[in-house]
Amino acid sequence: MEETFDVIIIGGGVVGCACVFELTSRGYLCLLLEKNEHLAAEASSGNSGMLHTGFDATERLELDCIQRCQARVFPLLDKLGVPVNHIGATHRT
């Protein structure tokens, strides 16, 4: 049986995964294509799992994006049961 998707996303890094999450939460049927065995295995893996607080963001757009992410990521991580260590400068906005 042939499946039809609303959106096909190529690349399972942080951006690709975020796009799939956002679009599927809005009701779109998505297909994520990733060449590696694990998601976020290449460039995205370099962040060491740290979340940025924006304390040194040099441009307003960067700070706005970080703050929007902060407002959404912690409730999502809680919902998914993903453990988070809040240390150092990490804070909820």
Catalytic residues, which ones?
Answer: 52
What gap in Å lies between CA 62 and CA 52, rounded to an integer? 11
- Contacts of residue 8, defined as CB under 8 A and 6 or more positions apart, other chains included, come to 30, 31, 33
Backbone angles phi, psi at 46, to 5 degrees: -70, -10
